[in-house]
Structure 1
Amino acid sequence: MKRVYLDHNATTPLRREARAAMVAAMDQVGNPSSVHAEGRAAKAIVEQARAQVAQTVGCEPAEVVFTSGATEAARVLQVPVPEHHVYVDPTAHDALLAHAGGVGAGATTATLAMGLANSETGVISAMPQRAEGKWCSGAQRADWLLLDITQAAGRIPVDFAASKADFAILSAHKLGGPKGVGALVVRQGLDITALAPGGGQEMGRRSGTENIIGIAGFGAAAAAAARDIASGRWEEVKELRKILENTLAASAKTTIFVGKDSDRLPNTSCFAMPGWKGESQVIQMDLAGFAISAGSACSSGKVRESHVLRAMGYDEETASSAIRVSLGLETTAEDVQRFAETWLAKERNFRARMA
């Protein structure tokens, strides 16, 4: 039987619109920085994609800086100011956690970095409050706010302008674009140190000749993703997730569904069977023809205890027994049913061995 791909939060299949845009861009010989006709044609591809991405995430085109992905975009947190501190939500992706820290209580300026939607659980974060010119989250007060919208963009409406955030980061391959391209969104009026100094491309914020082919695919994928949100296609995916979770809960009553009563991405289900290691579940389901994961795909293939679940208060056994099933627009009811039947059969075998 055909394999079933249920790991869309790790990466999504390339959209046909993105593929077509990339093929067309391959024939464009010009450098976007050149002033001749060929250069202007290449520049037009980049600017069209910039407008497409901006429209999808609710910002101005001039606020979009193309990068190699969200991880590079997060380097904006490396502010070269000794008195700066970066507060990172403990459930955030490693791309943000890598920048956490600074001088703590002695800091004169600070940035709060957080995910808009969690990559492992799909839980949508509550926005921090802004009071007296500061972003407030618990006892933390920060001058600037960075939102990781990587998982949210293309699945739920995102409005950067309405959020009042200062920065946002995202990657193309999470919404059906190619791997190796993403964006940093910088609120108009903010001055940042260049992510990569050099020739001054991308409005001086990220030097280096633009990846025209990847950027073209990014823009086309973003535009297609916006249309899918508007047409309600992700509501259909949400119904499939409900079927999956209800089916599992009915037969495996001790299953813990993380964030079940929270506002979540429509495609994401994170659940744990305490005692049955997530790594073992991933391997068994892979051998059975299903691609799933045990957390975020950010550790070079390593499977480890979920720092997200630990930060949410789950014990070590539960955190190490969780898996993530993330559906896509092409996922079918048959796919979900096959997965549920297979997982439940293996869960019964696990229980029998433990008895």
Structure 2
Amino acid sequence: MKRVYMDANATTPLLPEVLEAMRPYFIERFGNASSIHQQGQQARAAVEHARESVAALLNCRPAEIVFTSGGTESDNMALFGLMQQGDHLITSSIEHHAVLHAAEKLRERGMEVTFLPVSSEGVVDPQEVRRAIRPNTKLISIMMANNETGAIQPVSEIGRIASEADIYFHTDAVQAAGKLPIDVQSLRCDLLSISGHKMHAPQGTGILYVRRGTQLEPLFFGGAHERQRRAGTENLPGIVGLGKAAEVACAALTDGTIERIKALRDRLEQGILAEVEDTGVNSRKVARVANTTNIYFDNLEGEALVIALDLKGLSTSGGSACASGATEPSHVLSAMGLPPARARASLRFSLSKLNTEDDITFALEIIPQAAARLRELAPVNAGTLG
């Protein structure tokens, strides 16, 4: 059976060139980058080359890049590494759980946290950020692009507000890296998180950008790795893969790749809205990353549609998450004010560099059929908004 993958915001496959770059570091060049013999020197050179490649993607100094195990660790390092008793954190209600749950844990430990609301389109108002600032505000953490809707947040303006108030600013750029140009200088951010497997690097890799002079307490203790900011022997093949993926991402920002993906996304979106009744796009009125659309299918359950499409060969994801065995509405869509039924009826389609026109044709053949069949089978009021 033909299979088409449209869940790139969950994870992406390795690009062939990324795998080839990694291959020697599993067997021939296996050294520990902390060793001073030849194998160690080869490993260190590979790590530093990757660091330079990631720094080029962000327009920062290589020394400001800390390699981590992924976006979750990077987000946790940013929040727990800065916040102390008596400090105040400002974040938003649509952040990834790596930030939300970390913020909740900080609050349990006695720190103050403000969770900002968002508009009906899923965007943070910078003036809400400004109004939330207190004398003890230590950190503002607002994502660059939302993982469910793709909505781009006004991080440049928020960075300016934070800088003027002399407050640290962190942005989770996991869903923006490789899709949007990122310049940490113009953003005026102090910390920025990236996850490798969202941009065709291997799972279990990521970085935290830490602006020079930022005093960050480490999460791990042991050796003096990563300039004493992240103890533990470096994941050599993974870091090499992340570096190569960063080089590919840099090129994609200027070679037409992003425009091609956006055209595919727009064709998919327009085709679904034209062929399937009672559908609409969440966050459709605001700027979104090029690869993402989040579409609601009223009068059906999104999870059922995900399963039906999967059986037909199309991999996508719902706008809801599974918690304690029960399907709960997405916290992002709920924060936008969507009724629970519509939030549960929403699906996210997220494309990667590997998707093609044929993939869109395939998807547009099976999605209308699957949606119509489910609506025939379901009770009339199963997913209505009433």
TM-score by length of 2: 0.85
Q: Give 1:19 shift.
A: 0.5
Cα 1:24–1:104 change in 2 (3 A) is: closer
| Unaligned stretches of 5+ residues in structure 2 | 115-133, 381-386
Q: Give 1:16 shift.
A: 1.4
Q: Give 1:338 shift.
A: 1.5
SS at match of 1:265: coil
For 1:302 and 1:35, how far apart are their aligned partners in 2?
Answer: 53
Q: Give 1:58 shift.
A: 2.1
Matches within 5 A, 1:26-41: 26=26, 27-41=28-42
Cα 1:345–1:194 change in 2 (3 A) is: same
Cα 1:301–1:339 change in 2 (3 A) is: farther
Cα 1:350–1:90 change in 2 (3 A) is: same
Cα 1:226–1:132 change in 2 (3 A) is: closer
1:119–1:296: 8 Å Cα contact kept in structure 2? no
1:10–1:296: 8 Å Cα contact kept in structure 2? no
Identity of aligned residues (%): 37
Counterpart check, 1:130 vs 2:160: yes
SS at match of 2:226: coil
Q: Give 1:304 shift.
A: 3.7
TM-superposition CA deviations, 1:170-211 (whole Å, max 9, x none):
111111100001011001111110121211100110001111
Counterpart check, 1:272 vs 2:296: yes
Cα 1:41–1:303 change in 2 (3 A) is: farther
Match of 1:191 among 201, 212, 215: 215
2:159–2:169: 8 Å Cα contact kept in structure 1? no
For 2:256 and 2:23, how far apart are their aligned partners in 1?
Answer: 29
For 1:301 and 1:222, how far apart are their aligned partners in 2?
Answer: 37
Cα 1:296–1:134 change in 2 (3 A) is: farther
1:10–1:297: 8 Å Cα contact kept in structure 2? no
Cα 1:81–1:157 change in 2 (3 A) is: same
Q: Give 1:109 shift.
A: 3.5
SS at match of 1:97: helix
2:53–2:244: 8 Å Cα contact kept in structure 1? yes
Matches within 5 A, 1:196-207: 196-207=220-231
For 2:332 and 2:102, how far apart are their aligned partners in 1?
Answer: 17
Match of 1:224 among 233, 248, 263: 248
For 1:187 and 1:298, how far apart are their aligned partners in 2?
Answer: 36
SS at match of 2:225: coil
Matched residue, 2:118: none
For 1:20 and 1:273, how far apart are their aligned partners in 2?
Answer: 41
TM-superposition CA deviations, 1:87-122 (whole Å, max 9, x none):
221111111101224235987242111210111111
Cα 1:132–1:251 change in 2 (3 A) is: closer
> Which one has a larger percent helix, Structure 1 or Structure 2?
2
| Unaligned stretches of 5+ residues in structure 1 | 136-141
Counterpart check, 1:348 vs 2:372: yes
Counterpart check, 1:108 vs 2:111: no
SS at match of 2:88: strand
For 1:344 and 1:260, how far apart are their aligned partners in 2?
Answer: 20
CA RMSD of superposed structures (Å): 2.2
TM-superposition CA deviations, 1:222-277 (whole Å, max 9, x none):
10121122101110111111111111111224202011221111111101112311
Q: Give 1:80 shift.
A: 5.4
Matched residue, 2:68: 67
Counterpart check, 1:86 vs 2:89: yes
Q: Give 1:295 shift.
A: 3.8
TM-superposition CA deviations, 1:287-318 (whole Å, max 9, x none):
11111011488979985411111111211111
Matches within 5 A, 1:123-202: 123-127=151-155, 128=158, 130-131=160-161, 133-134=163-164, 143-202=167-226
For 1:176 and 1:104, how far apart are their aligned partners in 2?
Answer: 34
TM-score by length of 1: 0.92
For 2:302 and 2:39, how far apart are their aligned partners in 1?
Answer: 52
Runs of 4+ in 1 over 6 A off after TM superposition: 296-302
Q: Which moved more, 1:284-293 or 1:75-84?
A: 75-84
For 1:40 and 1:299, how far apart are their aligned partners in 2?
Answer: 47
Counterpart check, 1:50 vs 2:78: no
For 2:325 and 2:55, how far apart are their aligned partners in 1?
Answer: 32
Q: Which moved more, 1:40-49 or 1:25-34?
A: 25-34
Q: Give 1:20 shift.
A: 1.0
Cα 1:298–1:218 change in 2 (3 A) is: farther
For 1:264 and 1:63, how far apart are their aligned partners in 2?
Answer: 28
SS at match of 2:23: helix
2:320–2:344: 8 Å Cα contact kept in structure 1? no
For 2:84 and 2:247, how far apart are their aligned partners in 1?
Answer: 37
The one-letter amino acid paired with 1:288 is K
Counterpart check, 1:261 vs 2:285: yes
Matched residue, 1:234: 258
2:321–2:330: 8 Å Cα contact kept in structure 1? no
SS at match of 2:251: helix
Cα 1:351–1:299 change in 2 (3 A) is: closer
For 2:239 and 2:207, how far apart are their aligned partners in 1?
Answer: 10
